[in-house]
Amino acid sequence: MQLSDRQNKIIAIVKENQPVKSNDIAEILDINRATIRPDLKILSMLGILEAKRKVGYFYTGRSLLHILGSYIKSISVMEIQSEPTIVDENTSIYDGIITMFTKNAGSLYVVEGKYLSGVVSRKDFIKAMIGRKEVESLPITLIMTRMPHIIYLEPSESVYDAAYKTMFYEVESLPIISKEMDNDGNERLELIGKVSRTNITRYVVNMGKSKE
């Protein structure tokens, strides 16, 4: 999203003359006050300007980048999540490879019933195939990442959290989990979704399109 030239001029006027009323802004720009009313509304909605009744407009000091960052932090990962590609613990490494490439997945999530047991990446499969001939018979559990080494998201986390974790931990995707206790009183991670780098990129692109 980009501000128009007139909106940037309005911001500059408010910075220099705050508090300043709309009719004074219009006079400086040499245009009708009704013309800038939509601009003032947009800038106020974005939080760049603040309007105080009978006083005028103030500049809040917040940049557009800061505002967009704050907005992304308010969006739940559940709004951009997608269906994870799952296999059970009895799946062989070979069948896992076939599943990954037929479904064009960046990671596989290994489950026991509804609970997450582990995560397998493309790199894990490549390492498993080097020097091994028995991948058709070996279980996928031998090469998966297990807890406590699984990086995950919870439903309360934001798109910003997802972007930060994928970048910081250098992973393709993250499982979204819900913690619950099983029948034996052990904490388990129920797999309810995933967020990938593609999900994040698609969301940012769509957000840009919606603001055009």
pLDDT of residue 1 exceeding 60? no
What domains does the chain contain, in order, with CATH numbers? 5-62 (1.10.10.10), 77-206 (3.10.580.10)
Query: To 5 degrees, how large is the angle CA 73–CA 66–CA 23?
Result: 125
Span 108-144, pLDDT tens digits = 999 999 999 999 999 999 988 886 668 888 999 999 9
Separation CA 190–CA 61 (nearest Å): 43
pTM above 0.85, yes or no: no
pLDDT digits (tens, 9 = 90+) for 165-180: 999 999 999 999 999 9
Terminal-to-terminal C-alpha distance of the chain: 7
44-90: pLDDT as tens digits: 877 889 999 889 999 988 776 677 777 788 899 999 999 999 999 99
Torsion of CA 125, 111, 78, 164, to 10 degrees: -40
Q: Which residue has the tokens 């800061």?
A: 66
| Residue owning tokens 């062989």 | 92
